[in-house]
A and B are shown apart, each in its own frame.
Chain A
Amino acid sequence: MLAYVVRRVLQFIPVFLGVTLLLFVLRAPGVLPGDPVRLITGERAISPELYQQVVEKHHLDRPLYVQYGYYLQGLLQGDLGTSFQRDMPVRDIFAAKFPNTVRLALAAIVIEIIIGIGAGMVSALKRYSFLDVFVTLSTSILVSVPVFWLGMVMQVLFGIKFKEWGLPFMPISGMSSAQFPDWAHIILPAITLASVSTAYTARIMRSQLLEVMGQDYIRTARAKGLSSNAVVWRHAFKNALIPVVTFIGIDLGAMMGGAILTETIFNWPGVGYEIFLAIGQRDWPIVMGGVIIIVFAVMIINLIVDISYAFLDPRIRYGGEVR
Chain B
Amino acid sequence: MRAPAVTTPVAPTSRTLWGDAWRRLRRNKLAMAGLVWIVFMVILALSADLWVPQHFGDPERIDTENLLELQLQSPSAVHPFGTDRLGRDILSRIVYGARISLTVGVLATSISIVLGLFFGALSGYYGKILDTLIMRLADVFFAFPYILFAIALLAVLGRGYQNVFIAIGILGWPSIARVFRSSILSVKESEYVDAARVLGAGDSRIMVRHIMPNAIAPIIVYATMSIGSAILAEAALSFLGMGVTPPTPSWGLMLSEARGFLFSAPWLMIYPGAAILTTVLAFVLMGDGLRDALDVKLKEEG
Contact = CB atoms under 8 A, between A and B. Distances in A.
A144 B280 contact: yes
A140 B284 contact: yes
A291 B148 contact: yes
B155 interface: yes
Given A149-B273, A156-B266, A261 B145 contact: no
8 contacts: A141-B277, A144-B277, A149-B269, A149-B277, A197-B302, A257-B146, A279-B241, A298-B143
A203 B272 CA distance: 27
A260 B241 CA distance: 12
Contacts of A200: 300, 302
B50 to A, nearest CB: 29
Contacts of B156: 26-27, 32, 34, 39
Contact of A298 (B145, B259, B273): B145
Interface string B36-60: 0000000000000000000000000
A204 B300 contact: yes
A132 interface: no
Interface in A239-293: 247, 250-251, 253-254, 256-258, 260-261, 264-265, 275-276, 279-280, 284, 287-288, 291
Interface size class on chain A is 35 or more
B173 to A, nearest CB: 13
Given A146-B273, A258-B145, A288 B155 contact: yes
B276 interface: yes
A231 interface: no
Contacts of A23: 152
A113 interface: no
A14 interface: yes
A156 B147 contact: no
Nearest to B153: A26
A26 B236 CA distance: 21
A104 B136 CA distance: 31
Interface residues of B, number: 47
What 8 pairs across the A-B complex have the smallest Cβ distances?
A: A257-B145, A18-B140, A149-B273, A144-B281, A144-B280, A291-B148, A291-B152, A34-B156
B240 interface: yes
Contacts of B113: none
B236 A148 contact: yes
Interface centre among A148, A253, A264, A302 (most CB of B within 10 A): A148
Contacts of B281: 140-141, 144
A251 B301 CA distance: 10
Nearest to B163: A33
B114 to A, nearest CB: 19
B302 A280 contact: no
A18 B136 contact: yes
Contacts of B143: 15, 18-19, 295, 298-299, 302
Contact of A207 (B136, B151, B300): B300
A34 B157 contact: yes
A155 B30 CA distance: 30
Contacts of A32: 156-157
Interface string A202-213: 011001000000
A25 to B, nearest CB: 9
Contact of A156 (B30, B236, B242, B262): B262
B300 A203 contact: yes
Interface centre among B156, B276, B288 (most CB of A within 10 A): B156
A129 B146 CA distance: 36
Interface in B254-272: 255, 258-259, 262-263, 266, 269, 272
A14 B136 contact: yes
A9 interface: no
Nearest to B256: A148
Nearest to A277: B241
Nearest to B273: A149
Contacts of B235: 146, 148
A14 B280 CA distance: 35
Contact of B140 (A19, A251, A287, A302): A19
A284 B159 CA distance: 13
B63 interface: no
A75 interface: no
A161 to B, nearest CB: 9
A279 B145 CA distance: 17
Contact of A152 (B144, B153, B273): B273
A265 B149 CA distance: 20
A158 to B, nearest CB: 12
Contact of B259 (A19, A33, A152, A288): A152
B152 A146 contact: no
A160 interface: yes
B161 interface: no
